[in-house]
Every structure is written in C-alpha cells, then in structure tokens.
C-alpha cells in the first residue's frame, strides 16, 4: 500500500484522491458505479473541491469547508451535504428520496439527478460562504 501511495505522489495524484479511490474499490460493483457517477457530478459542479475522507467517508472541501460527501451502507447509498439546513431548504426537491437529518438515502443503483446535486452544492457553498 505504501508503494502505491508513493507512486501516486510521483504521478502527481493526491493521497486524498487515493483514499477516495480505495474507499470506492472496497464496494460492490453497483454501489461503486453509483457513487463514482456521483463523484463525477460533484467534481464537475465544484471543480475547485479537494477530495478526501471525513469521518471515514469521501468528502469534498472548498476553502477548508466540506460542501459535499457520500457513503455506502448495506442497503443504500447516501449523499451527505454536511449541513442539516440544506436539506430543510431543499425539502421540496427531495421528494421520492429517503432523508435523515444529515443525509439523502437512495437505492444502490439510483444516483441523484445532476441538477439536484448542483442545487445541493450551491446551497451548501452559499451557506458556508465558499
């Protein structure tokens, strides 16, 4: 593993990116595909975000503040806005998805629509002032 991290650094890749890659590599194909698609959308919307892990799950930081993240569970995957108020603000947009105070839960094979991810990230960035 250390050799892989050194090789990643030599190639100019971030160790944090490698941590997210490692997280995804441990998942079954369906969850991995759904979350890789979500990752791509997050990075397209927040192209200035730095990838890494926060509390053991992928997170995307802008200006040092986490603006988005995701995780996998046994029977679902989750989008994590890292803000309870963003979910309240966009509650009308979240119909059809399971939510908790800090997560949007979706079936393992159903990614969030890119337009919704955009709204979530824009709301979080506004709230975090980044």
**Six token digits for residue 96:** 């059809």
Could you give the domains of the chain? 2-128 (3.90.1150.200)
User: What is the three-class DSSP state of 102?
Assistant: coil
User: Would you write out the chain's pLDDT as a tens digit for each of its 130 residues?
Assistant: 444 433 333 444 466 899 999 999 999 999 999 999 999 999 999 999 999 999 999 999 999 999 999 999 999 999 999 998 999 999 999 998 999 999 999 999 998 999 999 999 999 999 999 9
CB 86 within 8 A of CB 124: yes
**Six token digits for residue 7:** 């090789």
Report field, pTM of the whole predicted structure over 0.85? yes
96 vs 105: CA distance, rounded Å: 10
């Amino acid at each position: 593993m250390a050799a892989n991290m050194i090789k990643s650094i030599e190639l100019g890749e971030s160790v944090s990116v490698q941590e997210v890659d490692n997280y995804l590599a441990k998942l079954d194909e369906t969850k991995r595909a759904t979350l890789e698609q979500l990752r791509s959308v997050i990075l397209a919307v927040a192209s200035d975000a730095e990838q890494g892990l926060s509390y053991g799950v992928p997170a995307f930081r802008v200006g040092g503040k986490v603006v988005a993240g995701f995780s996998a569970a046994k029977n679902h995957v989750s989008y994590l806005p890292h803000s309870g108020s963003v979910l309240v603000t966009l509650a009308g947009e979240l119909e059809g998805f399971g939510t908790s105070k800090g997560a949007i839960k979706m079936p393992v094979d159903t990614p969030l629509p890119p337009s919704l991810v955009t709204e979530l990230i824009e709301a979080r960035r506004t709230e975090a002032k980044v």
